[in-house]
Chain A
Amino acid sequence: MPIEYSDVTFTYLNYEKPAVSNIKLKIQEGTLTAIIGKLGAGKSTLLRMMNGLVPNQFPGNMTGKVLVDGVDTQTVEVPEIAKTLNMVFDDPVLQIVALTVFDDVMFGPANLGLPREEILKRVSEALATTRLTGYESRNPRTLSGGEQQLLAMAGVLAMRPKYLVLDEPLAMLDPLGKKQVLGAVRKLHEDTGLAVVIAESGTDIEPLVEFVDWAVILDEGRIVAEGKPKELFSDNVMVKKAGLRVPQVTQLAYNLGNSKNTSVPVTLDEGVDFVKKLVASPSSSKKEYVEEAQPDSGSTEKVVSISNLWHTYPGPPPVDALQGINLEINRGEMVALLGQNGSGKTTLSFHLVGALKPTNKDASVMVAGLDVVNTPQFDIIQHVNYVFQNPANQLFNETFEKEVKYGPERLGLPPEEIERRAKDSLAKVGLGHLWEQSTFDIPKSLETLLGLASVLSLDPEVLIIDEPTGGLDLETGQRVMDTLCELNRNKKTILIITHDMALASRYAKRVVVLHKGKILMDGPTHEVFAQPDILAKTMLEPPQITKLAQKLMDVGYPDDILTVDEFVHFFSTMK
């Protein structure tokens, strides 16, 4: 029996607008389904209805019914539904309840009251499926982001659910980590007929459309379309209206003039076929090449200069997070810092802002002319600063105004300068009109923009930003990147830490790839992404459009195309 929503509307307690409205949906057994929608579209609410968290845990007004295998989820407790349906949330750290891998995986089956031998068998199988065998006694905190996500999945797989529900499971993973997770789920689906439902806000749309066979698009709490991904993405107008990201090969088709309701490619292989067919029909391309907004520094003044930087975290066992890093960055550069989870990106960035000190004596870290190793951190922050991936770590004031004034006030600036900087920084991120807005219960998009503004008001020469568009919808992500580009045009040096290869290739002229605490690659973006074999060593891969060009090298495409617009340009020249 399927999961069935019969005309469901739900409004959270103390809210006026329904989170989801008039949902009519059937998810069949043994299928792979994606629920796609931008932030706030209602995806998590829809998912949480499946296991009864809504409305049992999150009270509100609900009309209609959600049936899972014929059971009304409103009439039973959540642990009862867990016998059939299990969910993995977007943040693996918080759902790993035990302190060793083994203990965590056996937590669910033990709660089901299964015999000891059966539990041990299931744990062993779940670990094997998620390739975590051998990790049994490890503390989950010592695992990489990808491994933690796999562990969260192993924990529910050991319960042998009929339905597996994943809420943004790929958000924190490096590119090959995403493939690892989806590969493990696909294997289970093929081996056991497990039905899988995945919610996705768009950043990871490319691996997702290659994975699912059915997709549901949500916008403002309503289902606006459902069908095979290829059919859905062919409706360019609907996709744009719902504010969704699309795979780069689909965007390519749009840019090459694909009109509504014409079939578009959604996977890499389909992209290859699509381009090859177009080459055979010369009249298809009408678009002109448009230069991407990637500012070129042109400066040779070193604003960051690191020499022989080591950092060892004390054990047991001790971990050499950075191993003799040497790096120079010129003023006005926009550099992407890439690497898999645990490669040392964050440790390196913390050294640039003086939040960590080298563990070797002969290291040197110079930023904006300051010897960061020997300068008090307070004296560094107006020269170099850091925007955290999770802005909630930075925000605490009651209003936007107070939040952006906090930094300049700590610096002891004159009141009129504090006012000017605060207003400027909010205006830069497009929030000037929210001067008096409360910071309580604001959406993630506003939180991110405010977090950025609160650092911009310190006016640092070098800005480090961790996953600038992570978890954001298309529009907010674009606003963040526009702000960074504007800063960069004004000679600010920007260092972006990211797993989003399309973002790095579009905005950074140079990328630095870290691997196991060492710089594996450092050079112009197009040169680095032209070496997929070396990138794969560190769980990275070029963006989809670059991979497309690399697959088309036999028909004359270069292997270092970085953006959709570049591809269109080359396509035009080839005609």
Chain B
Amino acid sequence: MSLFAYQDLKTPIHQLNALTKWSILIVLTLLAGFILDPRYKIPLGIIIIVYALVAKLKFRIYRGLILLVLFSLLLANLISVFFIVNANMFKVYDKVWAATTVFQITNASFPIFGRMALTYGGILWLLQGSLTGVFVVILLAAHIQSTSLNETVQLLSAIKAPFPVIYITMVALRFTPELAAQFTLVHRAQTLRGWRVNTRNPIKIVRLYMPLLFPVVRYVIKSIDITTMSTQNRAFGLGPVTNVTASKLSTVDKALTIFIWVVFAVMMVLILKFNVGNL
């Protein structure tokens, strides 16, 4: 089983109309981005995890990727977090508590940013930023696992999306799992020629990965080339596409789609007007 690949299962999520599933993906992703306060973000995460479990997502195979995303975001956010020392940045939490220094990096004051320290507010910021990435990965995986490529193409065609948008979506969905498999193959081939990571220097590591990246990039170019040819050869782009598998919006779909957008609207009002979910 590959990462980010559609699985033909009969779960309640799979049965939903593509419009409903895309609505859920968009709304939950936006909320994961707008909600900063871990007290709100964690319940949102639980909803996302339940959604993924209902879609029968195999968390076991995503474990490595989730950890990678988590640590990458922790590292990436670490530097900016050290500048979150200004009490006025916090609208909900107690300003004094949020700006309390846990660990002083330097006493020097930088222009615009001020001093550099790890504060309680900074820790909250770090936590929410990293959780956002993890939740989006889970949400995306659950969505791709439960929404077939044809459903998406037919939905985009039905809403009269421009042809390049349909094409790019299709290629991205089709080749994400393919790329993972190709990367494994190239990794195997280069390891057999003596390739290995024997340094902790990040610049050297990037250079070491070149032997793996070139063949993969070549494969991507070739794949897109052949896919373009074969889709055109199968009349892709000729005109309106017949909607074969995507069922009409059922009552559940209609209710759920309306509900999710209403929730989104309410949450946006709460976030923007009443600072709900802010730090």
Contact = CB atoms under 8 A, between A and B. Distances in A.
Which of A102, A103, A138, A396 has the most chain B CB atoms closer than 10 A to its own CB?
A396
Contact of A393 (B173, B174, B185, B228): B185
B18 interface: no
B128 interface: no
Given A79-B232, A385-B192, A112 B238 contact: yes
B239 interface: yes
A103 B149 contact: yes
Interface in A54-106: 57, 77-80, 82-83, 86-87, 89, 91, 93-95, 97-100, 102-103, 106
A86 B193 contact: no
A4 B230 CA distance: 22
Contacts, number: 180
Contacts of B196: 378, 410
Given A57-B228, A94-B230, A100-B6, A111 B235 contact: yes
Interface in A387-417: 388, 392-396, 406-407, 409-411
Interface stretch (B44-52, B106-114, B116-124, B208-216): B208-216
Given A378-B194, A410-B195, A89 B230 contact: yes
Contact of A386 (B177, B186, B192, B245): B192
A110 B2 CA distance: 27
A152 to B, nearest CB: 8
A156 B233 contact: yes
A143 to B, nearest CB: 14
B80 interface: no
B192 A113 contact: no
A120 interface: yes
A316 B238 contact: no
B189 interface: yes
Contacts of B63: none
A396 B210 contact: yes
Contacts of B194: 378, 381, 406-407, 409-411, 458
Interface string B158-196: 000000000000100110011001000110111111111
Interface in B193-236: 193-196, 210-211, 214-215, 218-219, 222-223, 226-236
A94 B227 contact: yes
A82 B150 contact: no
Contact of A53 (B178, B188, B210, B229): B229
A193 to B, nearest CB: 21
A86 B242 CA distance: 19
A437 interface: no
28 contacts: A57-B228, A57-B229, A82-B232, A86-B234, A89-B229, A95-B230, A95-B233, A99-B6, A102-B245, A108-B234, A110-B243, A110-B244, A111-B234, A111-B241, A113-B241, A113-B242, A139-B7, A314-B1, A315-B1, A316-B1, A355-B188, A378-B194, A381-B194, A385-B192, A392-B218, A394-B189, A396-B210, A455-B193
Interface of A: 48, 51, 53, 57, 77-80, 82-83, 86-87, 89, 91, 93-95, 97-100, 102-103, 106-116, 119-120, 137-139, 141, 155-156, 159, 314-316, 350, 353, 355, 377-378, 381, 385-386, 388, 392-396, 406-407, 409-411, 454-455, 458
| Closest A-B pairs by Cβ, 8 of them | A410-B194, A95-B230, A396-B214, A99-B6, A108-B234, A111-B235, A78-B232, A79-B238
